[in-house]
Structure 1
Amino acid sequence: MKEKRFGIDIDGTVTCPTSLVPFINDAFSLNITLEDIKKYDLSEALNIPPDKMRDWFDKTEPEIYASSPLAEGAGAVLSKWQHQFHLLFISARRQHLFDITETWFKDKSIHYDHIELIGSHNKLEAAKQYEVDIFFEDKHDNAVMLAEELCIPVILFNTPYNQDPIPKNVIRVNNWYEADSWVNQWCKTKEIVPLART
C-alpha cells in the first residue's frame, strides 16, 4: 500500500545537473564544467546577457531534455520506490514540453504516478495540491521555501549552484543512494535528522 507522496523535481534532480554543460559550451564557445556554475541563474553565472541566454535556452530546451542523462542512482532508487511511494514529478518545465518529457521517462524506464509541468519555479501550490510528504529538489530557494511553508523535509541534491545555508528540514545529499538512505531512516523515525556520513 503506497502511503507517502513524493514530490520530485526533474532537471538537475532526476536528470544529471551536467546535462546543460555540453550545450552551453557548444553554443557560447566556452570550456566550462559544472563546477564553474556557481549560481542557478545561468546568465548571471556565466556573464551572458539575459536575453541572449533566454533565446538560446528556448531554442535548445527540447534537445537538452530529450538527451539528458539520469543523475547518479536515480534509475535504481526510483525503480525501487515505485512500489513503495506515489511518485509525483513537479517541474518548472512548460506544458508544451510534456510529450518530450513523457517520452524521456519512458525511454529511461522511470515510473511516474503523475507529471506536472507548471512553467514556473514556484512549486508551492502544486506541492500543496498533491499533498506531498517530502520533496526532492536542486534549486536552493525552492527547497527552503517548500520546507518552511509546508513544514516537510526537502532533499536538496548538492551542486555548485546551491551552496547557500539551509534550514534544518532541508537535507543535502550527493546522489540518489544517499537520498534513499535518508528516506529509509525517515520512514522509520519520522524525524528530520542529518544524513549520517560513513
Structure 2
Amino acid sequence: MNIGIDIDNTISTTRETIFAFANKYNRENCLPNQFDLAHYALEKSLGWDRPTSQAFLRTHLADIYRQVLPKPQAVEIIRELHQENRIILITSRNQRDEAVATVTREWLELHQIEYDKLIMNNTDNMHHYSKLADCLDNGVELMIEDHHDLAWELSSYFPVVLFDYPYNAHLQHDNIIRVQSWPEVRQAVNQIIG
C-alpha cells in the first residue's frame, strides 16, 4: 500500500516546539501569551497580527524544524509500516526556502525516519498547500495527517488517519479515523489494510 504521511504534528511535535519558541519570543518582545489551541493558524492560535507572525517565522522557523522531536514511537512504527508499504512523506514545508528544505532532510536522516519519497510544498504559499494532486500522482491510498482542511479534502478520495488536535475537533467524515498516538496509527492502518 502507498501510505502518505505528513511531517509536522504527525511525525513530529512541531506545535509544541512552536509554542515554546513563541513563549520566549513573546517575553523578548513584551507580547502577551494568549495561546488558543483551538486554532491552527499562528495568528489566531498565538494572538498575533500577520506582520508579527511573519517576523517570527522568518527568524525562527528553521530552528523550530531543527529542534522538533519525533512523537513517541513514530520512528519505530513508521519503520514497521515501511517493511510492507511504500512511505511517501508529503509536507507543507516549502522547498523554495532552502534552509527549511535542508533542515527537513537533515532532520529526517538524523531521526532515521524511513521513507521512499519526500514531497515538499513548491507553491507561492510558504506554509500551506493542497496535497491532493501529489497524493493522486503518487498513488497514495491512505494519508496520515493533522490539518483539518487537508484531511477533509483527501478523505473524499481515500482514508485519512487524523491526529486529534483541538483545531481539528470539528471535523467529521466517514473516511477519517482519529488517533491520539502512533500505536493507534498502527492499529488504524492495520484495520484499513485488513
| TM-score, reference length from structure 1 | 0.86
- Separation in 2 of the partners of 1:32 and 1:8? 30
- 1:131 corresponds, among 123, 139, 149, to 139
- Per-residue CA deviation, residues 86-122 of structure 1 (Å, 9 max, x unaligned), is 1100111111222211110111011111111114321
In the TM superposition, structure 1's runs of 4+ consecutive aligned residues that sit over 4 Å from their partners are 30-33
SS of 1:13 mapped into structure 2? coil
SS at match of 2:171: coil
Cα drift, residue 72 of structure 1: 2.3
Q: CA RMSD in A?
A: 1.5
Structure 2 counterpart of 1:101, from 100, 104, 108: 104
1:161 corresponds to = 167
Q: Which residue of 1 aligns with 2:125?
A: none
The CA distance in 2 between the partners of 1:9 and 1:39, in whole Å, is: 19
Q: Match for 1:43: what amino acid?
A: E
Contact 2:33/2:46 (<8 A) preserved? no
Report what 2:16 is aligned to.
18
Asked if 1 retains the 8 angstrom alpha-carbon contact of 2:131 and 2:150, the reply is yes
Question: How far apart are residue 45 of structure 1 and its match?
Answer: 2.0
d(CA) in 1 for partners of 2:34, 2:172: 27
Specify the alignment match of 1:183 in structure 2: 189
2:115 aligned partner: 112
Measured against aligned partners, the alpha-carbon deviations of 1:145-166 in whole angstroms (never above 9, x if no partner) come to 0111x2x000110112211131
6, 14, 30: which one pairs with 2:3?
6
Tell me the CA shift for residue 55 of structure 1. Answer: 2.0
SS at match of 1:142: helix
Count of residues in correspondence between the two structures: 181
Percent same amino acid at aligned positions? 27
Tell me, yes or no, if the aligned pair for 2:146 and 2:163 is still in contact at 8 Å. yes
Q: Which residue of structure 1 aligns with residue 26 of structure 2?
A: 28
Residue aligned with 1:18, SS: helix
Preserved CA contact (<8 Å) 1:43 1:53: yes
Unmatched runs of 5 consecutive residues or more in structure 2: 123-127
> Secondary structure at the residue paired with 1:172?
strand
Report deviation, 1:50. 1.2
For 1:132, the aligned partner's letter is V
Partner SS for 2:3: strand
112-121 or 100-109, which deviates more: 112-121
